[in-house]
Structure 1
Amino acid sequence: MRKQRTIKEIVKVSGIGVHTGKKVDIIIEPAQENTGIVFHRTDINLFIQANQSNVVDTTLSTTLGIDGVYVKTVEHLLASLYAMNIDNCIIRIDNEEVPILDGSSASWVYLLRNASFVEQKHYKKVLLVTKPIKIKDNGKFVALLPCRKFKISYAISFDGTFINKQKYEIEVNEQSFIKEISKARTFCFLRDIEYMQQNNLALGGSLDNAVVVDDYGIINEDPLRYENEFVRHKILDAIGDLSILNYDLKAHYIAYKSGHNLNYRLVSNLLQDKKSFALIGSPKHEMEILENLGYLSPSVGSI
């Protein structure tokens, strides 16, 4: 296990929301241990905890809300905080959507690393999946399986398009996220943009913050950052959605053509089935649980 962390310096960011098109300013501040990740809508003076019960919409992104007040498109920022082991902070935001920046987590990673970190006294609790949780829906699949690490195996399929089929597998930690996932940008099909904008979505989207795909390839001047950037971005989104558990997750997440809604349902099903996981609150407790589950060899006595 590890100790909780917060940032050392304040982070300030300005940008636009990819769906609302509205300008937004964000200030991320350090917070005391056990605070968690909390959004503060400064224009309304309302605090919204980043947790499963506050997820109110999963249409093309993840939205948190309380009493009709929202913070939209939180997944890229939450993925960055989770992967970099930043457990406690107050995110002060003066509008309803987190800025999209370049469509990836790269800018968040850069800013958070520059802010540096402070280790706190209390341990970060661990959620260890002990029983498989699976959802199948209309040709899509998502699951959490028991695993001593946080591992992701993801596959996507857009038959008949430039994207085609892609898959990727990764053990998630700070370094792997920064190197292999953080720069992957959000993407969409050119044919879908008009429909989205007619439904008040993607109003702030552009070639500066998304990879746009037509029948022949990408229309962006900048090349892909990874050969399989599309599936890597889906992994980025999944990390953000799973981070809402507010624990260090030890599980193997497997997905085929999943998205924000299936991720939300998966987390809900997990939390409702108390026999599907164990919560670990201290290193001593961790050793006891792992030994009871048969993860430890009595002759070794450690992970």
Structure 2
Amino acid sequence: MQRTITYPVCFDGVGLHSGAVARLTIRPAEAGAGIAFCRVDVTDRDNVIPALWDRVEQSPLCTRLVNAAGVSVGTVEHVMAALVGCGVHNAIVEVDGPEVPILDGSAVPFVEGILAKGTRGQGRPVRALRVLRPIEVRKGQSHARLTPDETLRIEFAIEFEDAAIGVQKKILNMSNGSFVRELSNCRTFCRKADVDDMRANGLALGGTLENAVVVDGEKVLSPGGLRHADEAVRHKMLDALGDLGLAGLPILGHYQGVRAGHALTNDLLRALFADPSAYEIIECDPETAARLPGAGVHRAEIPRVA
């Protein structure tokens, strides 16, 4: 059955790029509503923004959603990954500013909050998007691809000059709580040189060594080092799950990203929906629903964070 959060849960923090203080509240929504963001600080026009691929205003640094009234909310990818990874199909996400708080740079605070409040079934079957044939997009050395699969499988490869990251590859089946166990606590990362450039251009104003992994050559500058030796590629997989969540339905397919970012994953969804022969919408039986992200997730699976 479709699920929503049982009780509201709140999070306070600052936006990674704006540095603005923000409060985010996840509230239950009725069956079939999907996920939507609501800018509660905006009262003079439509302040609801559906969490859908065609509402994305593309940016290389984060995923930003905007509605027809020009109301936007940025850096939605981590809370979207948490909702998808915890099996929440319907929710309203209230934010009192233009950007979702970055918290510790991962999705684990959102996961902890969602699972602490619990989720409940809503008496209506889950619908899913099944990929029927390969869809691929490319830009330079980066590419992203979706192929048929019986579950959601995410595969990612990255390559950075900094030895602290280097070449990393990973593939995971997103069912059976693997997102919560393997990816949820992996933080956003960047090179020190990129931080300097972003701040010179008025970005990353809320970024610190506590909410991002910053590397400089072979050094990890953030206190405590890495949570996983391959934390960087795991975070890219976390981002991909959040961005794929903007399909509006759980996906049954194999996502492959090579040096891909938010914009390329959105390009992939646009290419998918532009070709009705590439997918079908199905109503999930219990066996299929058990293969979706978030099925059977429980709090004991949340990784400990020092």
Q: With the length of structure 2 as denominator, give the TM-score of the two structures.
A: 0.90
Mapping for residues 1-303 of structure 1, pairs under 5 Å: 3-45=1-43, 46-66=47-67, 67-159=69-161, 161-173=163-175, 175-283=177-285
Deviation at 1:279, TM superposition (A): 0.8
Counterpart-to-counterpart distance in 1, 2:134 and 2:164: 34
Counterpart-to-counterpart distance in 2, 1:229 and 1:171: 17
Whether contact under 8 Å (2:156, 2:256) holds in the other structure is yes
Unaligned runs of 5+ in 2: 289-306
Instruction: Say which one has the larger Rg.
Output: 1
- The alignment partner of 2:78 has SS state of helix
Counterpart-to-counterpart distance in 2, 1:128 and 1:11: 31
Deviation at 1:162, TM superposition (A): 2.4
AA matched with 1:250: L
Whether contact under 8 Å (1:79, 1:241) holds in the other structure is yes
Whether contact under 8 Å (2:161, 2:217) holds in the other structure is no
AA matched with 1:69: V
- The alignment partner of 1:237 has SS state of helix
AA matched with 2:187: R
Whether contact under 8 Å (1:33, 1:122) holds in the other structure is yes
Counterpart-to-counterpart distance in 1, 2:175 and 2:81: 11
Counterpart-to-counterpart distance in 2, 1:38 and 1:160: 38
When residues 193 and 282 of structure 1 are mapped into structure 2, their CA distance, relative to the original with a 3 A threshold, is closer
- The alignment partner of 2:137 has SS state of strand
Task: Output one character per residue of 1:260-287: Cα deviation in whole Å (capped at 9) or x when no partner.
Answer: 0110100000000000011102539x8x
After superposition, the CA RMSD in angstroms is 1.3
- The alignment partner of 2:17 has SS state of coil
AA matched with 1:200: G
Q: Count residues with an aligned counterpart.
A: 283
Counterpart-to-counterpart distance in 1, 2:176 and 2:97: 29
Deviation at 1:255, TM superposition (A): 1.1
AA matched with 1:44: V
Task: Output one character per residue of 1:33-92: Cα deviation in whole Å (capped at 9) or x when no partner.
Answer: 011111111111311110112111223100001232210000000001001110111111
Deviation at 1:198, TM superposition (A): 2.3
Counterpart-to-counterpart distance in 2, 1:174 and 1:243: 17
**Paired-residue identity, %:** 36
Counterpart-to-counterpart distance in 2, 1:83 and 1:229: 18
Whether contact under 8 Å (1:104, 1:183) holds in the other structure is yes
Unaligned runs of 5+ in 1: 287-303
- The alignment partner of 2:257 has SS state of strand
- The alignment partner of 1:270 has SS state of helix
Counterpart-to-counterpart distance in 2, 1:205 and 1:53: 28
When residues 137 and 59 of structure 1 are mapped into structure 2, their CA distance, relative to the original with a 3 A threshold, is closer
Runs (4+) of structure 1 exceeding 2 A deviation are 159-162, 281-284
